Amino acid sequence: MPMGTEEARGFLMRALRQSHWSQIIDLHIAVGNLKSKAYELDKRQGRAFISDGRGYLERGEPSIIDELIWSLIVQGVLVPGSDDNNRELPFLRLTEYGKRCTENGEILPHDPDGYLRDFADAAPTADPIVVEYLAEALQCFLRGLNRACAVMLGAASEMAVLVLIDALVTSIRDKSRQAKLRAEVESASSIFRKYRIFEREFSPIRAALPRELTANVETQLRGVFDLIRNSRNEAGHPASGVDASRDTNYVHLRLFVPYCRLLCALTAWFQNNPM
């Protein structure tokens, strides 16, 4: 069964975490071995005349791997050459940035499909629009569109916060108070003002929530909410003079998963606990 590009990308990112590779051929072998385990293949289903992992690669798949390797070179994850004596292709090594990307062994924005699977596991109730914006942010990240990535990630964060605010407002049993608060939120001219209303309303009821939802909640929510401040101005347009570097986006994408997990957990609590 042939691999698609995104599946091959996931295998390649896993291969980069392994040791004992220094050439393009080594990564072909590693990807082939990972494919064989994922598909439960044996050599009879691959090219039996090749004794290593390349025997599991079908026609066209080595070219897909080569394209992905070049894309990682362009993204600054890989660089040609393994040392001062072997400074050109087919030798390869991780850049310092590439080492940071692979050392954590967790969610890798350079593997969008894997990232979104991990995100779905962490925040299965996330609004579909949040997932849509997040997927676009990942594609922008892969293509080096750093400002666009920051803006789309800010949009995903904003949508998740709006869903949380709506859940809090809807949880209020007193219909008169609920209507008043909803009108105040709707009249707020920006997401920043809406969030300040949420903070005001959340503070006095915080003690009623489970401890796992409130421990370090200010740091987790307010800190990552500033993703929006880093990408948008008060009018909601892309902000100027913003640090939208690759490294910044990488960190923010990794932070976004636990951040959205907490937002979804708080949303679910308000939906199930009318006040």
Domain match, 139 and 52 both: no
What is the percent of the chain where pLDDT is above 90? 55
Could you tell me if residue 216 is inside a domain? yes
Domain match, 205 and 245 both: yes
Q: Are 81 and 58 in contact (CB under 8 A)?
A: no
Q: What is the DSSP string of 142-164?
A: HTT-HHHHHHHHHHHHHHHHHHH
Query: What are the pLDDT digits (tens) for 59-75?
Result: 899 999 999 999 999 88
What pLDDT shows up at residue 176? 96
What pLDDT shows up at residue 90? 94
Within the chain, strands assigned E span 78-80, 92-94
Could you tell me if residue 239 is inside a domain? yes
Q: Which residues contact 156 (CB under 8 A, 6 or more apart)?
A: 130, 131, 133, 134, 137, 256, 260
Domain match, 78 and 16 both: yes
Q: What is the CATH number of the domain that holds 39?
A: 1.10.10
Using the predicted structure, report yes or no on whether residue 268 has a pLDDT greater than 80. Answer: yes
Query: What are the pLDDT digits (tens) for 228-248?
Result: 666 666 655 556 666 678 888
What pLDDT shows up at residue 150? 87
Using the predicted structure, report yes or no on whether residue 103 has a pLDDT greater than 90. Answer: no
Domain match, 266 and 146 both: yes
Q: Which residues contact 212 (CB under 8 A, 6 or more apart)?
A: none
Residue with the larger pLDDT of the pair 254 and 124: 124
Could you tell me if residue 126 is inside a domain? yes
Nearest-angstrom CA–CA distance, 54 and 77: 23
Domain match, 201 and 151 both: yes
**Count of structural domains within the chain:** 2
Q: Which residues contact 31 (CB under 8 A, 6 or more apart)?
A: 8, 11, 12, 15, 53, 57, 65
Domain match, 149 and 260 both: yes
Model confidence at 262, pLDDT cuts 50, 70, 90, reads very high
Could you tell me if residue 107 is inside a domain? no
Model confidence at 106, pLDDT cuts 50, 70, 90, reads low
Using the predicted structure, report yes or no on whether residue 160 has a pLDDT greater than 90. Answer: yes
Query: What are the pLDDT digits (tens) for 192-239?
Result: 899 999 999 999 998 899 988 887 787 778 777 776 666 666 655 556
What is the percent of the chain where pLDDT is above 70? 89
Q: Are 12 and 114 in contact (CB under 8 A)?
A: no
Residue with the larger pLDDT of the pair 179 and 241: 179
Could you tell me if residue 182 is inside a domain? yes
Record the pTM.
0.79
Instruction: Determine the structural domain holding residue 256 and report its residue range.
Output: 112-272
Which contacts (CB < 8 Å, 24+ apart) does range 170-178 have?
Answer: 170/270, 170/271, 171/270, 171/271, 171/273, 171/274, 171/275, 172/274, 172/275, 173/274, 173/275
Which single residue is written with the structure tokens 């007193």?
174
